[in-house]
Amino acid sequence: MTALRSIVVHVDGSPRCAARLTLARKLAAAHGAVLEAVLAAAPSLAELPMAYSAGSEAATVMLELDADRRRRARLHFAREAERPGPPMHWLELDQELTRHGFVQRALYADLLVLGQHDATDPLAWGVASDFVPSVLADSGRPALVLPYTGHFAEVGRNVLIAWKPSREAMHAVSAALPLLREARQVHVACNAPAGEAGRIALGPLEAYLQRHGVTASVAVHGVAVEQVGESLLSTAADVEADLLVMGCYGHSRTREWLLGGASRSVLQAMTLPVLMAH
């Protein structure tokens, strides 16, 4: 991806939705992109079908909770839309087709902005634990995933690329080019030899970045073969990276997502925004 012209951000009723909207709008302003906020959350009765058997009162309570969650999402959107910045477009999906509907919108985006799953947040009901990897697999579009904790005022000034010569890794690097061009420092974590031999091995990647206008200096870091995900997050902390770029490895089988170890580890324990591509 050589330009960032369309961004789709996932919204729900959780407090972290506001952080996703703010960051997505900053990116839209910086890159002249169209921004669409898509509310996608399954009904509570789909997750707790036993409410039907508990009687109409329980079902009514669940419907009221859903309505409250959707009001919260619209409020997050309205607050962000009041601030100076590019226009934002709102889309509220049918509750019965949340994942499929979101994927259909995602197909036309250059970048998705999604949130890490937080199993402890009751306001995040309606968003499946495998929402992020499923959307990545089914849409084929790159996604910037934000952790459910932490504040991220800037993203993409100090970038760590998780590299190996593979389709997924190159897809992620290509998707990150609009951000990498603005970076002050680019770090590459890879399983390459130390010293000059490692620099030679990464020569083609450095040449690719330079050809696409990435002028930041590139530093090379080794990554452990075992526990790659944990090693990547540790390296990101060591170099004070504000963005991790990595391929997402695995495959989908009828709504079942089988993640590679590194992808799964990073999504579960992420401490910084991660731009992922499958």
Distance, CA of 188 to CA of 236 (rounded, Å): 10
Q: pLDDT tier at 255 (50, 70, 90 boundaries)?
A: very low
pLDDT value at residue 170: 96
Helix, strand, coil shares of the chain as percentages rounded to 5? Answer: 45, 20, 35
pTM for this model (two decimals): 0.90
User: What average pLDDT does the segment 224-244 reach?
Assistant: 92
Determine contact, residues 189/161, Cβ cutoff 8 Å. yes
Other CB atoms closer than 10 Å to residue 242's CB: what's the count? 18
Domains, the chain, in order of start with CATH, read: 6-146 (3.40.50.620), 158-277 (3.40.50.620)
pLDDT band at 65 (very low <50, low <70, confident <90, very high): confident
Q: Cα 207–213–214 angle (5° rounding)?
A: 70
Distance separating the N- and C-terminal Cα atoms of the chain: 14
Distance CA 101, CA 92 (A): 10
More confident residue, 256 or 112: 112
Residue with tokens 């934002």: 88
Q: What is residue 2's predicted lDDT score, i.e. its pLDDT?
A: 72
128-142, 147-161, 192-206, 211-225 — which is least confidently predicted? Answer: 192-206
β-bridge mates for residue 158, sequence order: 185
Rounded to an integer, the average pLDDT of 136-140 is 93
Looking at the predicted structure, is the pLDDT value of residue 251 above 80? no
Mean pLDDT, rounded, of the chain = 87
